[in-house]
Structure 1
């Protein structure tokens, strides 16, 4: 009975043992006072998030880390300390009560959870004291997220919530992310306590997949706002207006938006913006293309007709294909359209 959702979520043949005593037993518990955390995915966002988590949890709490790049784990341990590097995501699941995943693509999330949830070869030496909480902070599509949530419930290995974030690498480093959570209300206090250690706002948007849907809506709007801001700033500077004065006016008027106020595309306007560092680092055009793809795909599945998203996707694809703009922050659209630097 439990095998079907796993097969549907991950593909292939799942073990029949999911329906047997092992799955009902789930991961056994052990009695101890200290909490245990796991973090899978130490990329541009995950690395600073995990660093902030380690700083906020008790010194006696455990943090197990895993990434496809072992060198990143070693670097993290050298820089942050007091962590345990494990070789597989399965080992994270066996040892941690609260497990966070920050992964690039839907298929990465599926692969990681397939390994964590399979019941084979449960370790008899590693146990946790409370029901596992899986917090997926990846930006993926609602269908995949729902599938993984159902697989987690079916495997009876813990509870799954979707909690993508907004704020970029700068927000992650500063611990000022906004998390959008899709979860059952009774889980939210526990989820909020964990995410507050890495962000400033944790919002419950509704049941599972609500966080993912909210994130895609936000980034769809961000993608279009960014293009509009780049075009507006280009228009103003081309007319001879001072870029800084123009931005100050916009940010006190009805044109105010995050791409203008925080991530302004014109060098010299906002000191902390990627535009002052040759548009690096930041939220790359490839990531924006990915999020637009996911949003448009989910919209199509819901029979929602979008007007601007397709055009925005075409522009970001052209920007990414331009060697002067490739792999830079998405505000590099300003350079692509001929903005004055």
Structure 2
């Protein structure tokens, strides 16, 4: 329904970007006050592979009353649509997830580098990790060692994935949001230092964030 003044109170405005929660809540309030509809934060997870396959996961921050309508729209792009709570909680969920991903990626790169330099075959080491308690998405799906997972960016010269610069952006957003929520992130300083350093290096900035493995190898002069 469109009013004479251009207002559309029944319109859904679904934002799938990753920004900070406070800004998202402010935008939602402004959209409502202006009568231009209902603003919903619905960041996604799944990356390029998930987008191509239509299997993305969406984290939704909205009222319960409109979640059904939001889910109907997002189900055309994703398989898992989760109602996280009121406005802003979808963003918070995404940032919590990406903070964990950033840490898991660093830990996986360190563990693989350690094992390889100790004489282990990287595929054997990955098999052990992925059948034991160290298993994570970073080790199983996005393993940072070239050749271990054929479909991973590492096996394509670290191209076609989630850029280090984007991970650095999300990590900084997560750190700020956690501070606002008074939630300590004990590993954030070390992680931020590494991602910030690689983001400022043109040899790494646009490469998949798993290329931190290449950096740890001590071969930063190599072209990715």
Alignment RMSD (CA, Å)? 2.0
Tell me the residue number matched to 1:306.
Answer: 185
User: Are 1:277 and 2:172 counterparts?
Assistant: no
Which residue in the other structure is 1:15 paired with?
none
Q: Comparing both chains, which one has the higher relative contact order based on Cα–Cα distances under 8 Å and sequence gaps of 6 or more?
A: 2
- Select which of 129, 138, 162 maps to 1:259: 138
1:28 partnered with 2:3: yes
Q: Counterpart of 2:14 in 1: which secondary structure?
A: strand
Is contact 1:225-1:257 (8 Å) kept?
yes
For structure 1, the 5+ residue unaligned runs are 1-25, 30-118
Q: Select between 209-218 and 240-249 the one with higher mean Cα deviation.
A: 240-249
In 2, Cα distance between equivalents of 1:337 and 1:322: 14
Q: Does the residue aligned with 1:225 lie in a helix, a strand or coil?
A: helix
Matched positions, count: 220
1:206 Cα deviation after fit: 0.8
**How far 1:309 moved relative to its partner?**
1.0
Q: TM-score, structure 2 length as denominator? A: 0.92
Structure 1 residues 339 and 200: alpha-carbon distance in aligned structure 2, compared to 1, 3 A threshold: farther
Whole-Å separation in 2 of the counterparts to 1:339 and 1:257? 24
TM-score by length of 1: 0.61
Work out whether 1:294 is the aligned partner of 2:194: no
Correspondence list, 1:136-285, <5 A? 136-285=15-164
Alpha-carbon contact 1:234-1:339 (below 8 Å) kept? no
Q: Which residue of 2 aligns with 1:133?
A: 12
Q: Which runs of 5+ in 2 are unaligned?
A: none
The 3 A distance-change label for structure 1 pair 155 and 310 is same
Shift, 1:322, TM fit: 3.1
Which residue of 2 is the match for residue 4 of structure 1?
none
Residue equivalent to 1:337: 216
Encode CA deviations 1:203-241: one digit per residue, 9 max, x unaligned. 111111110000000000000000000000101111111
Deviation of residue 327 (structure 1)? 1.2
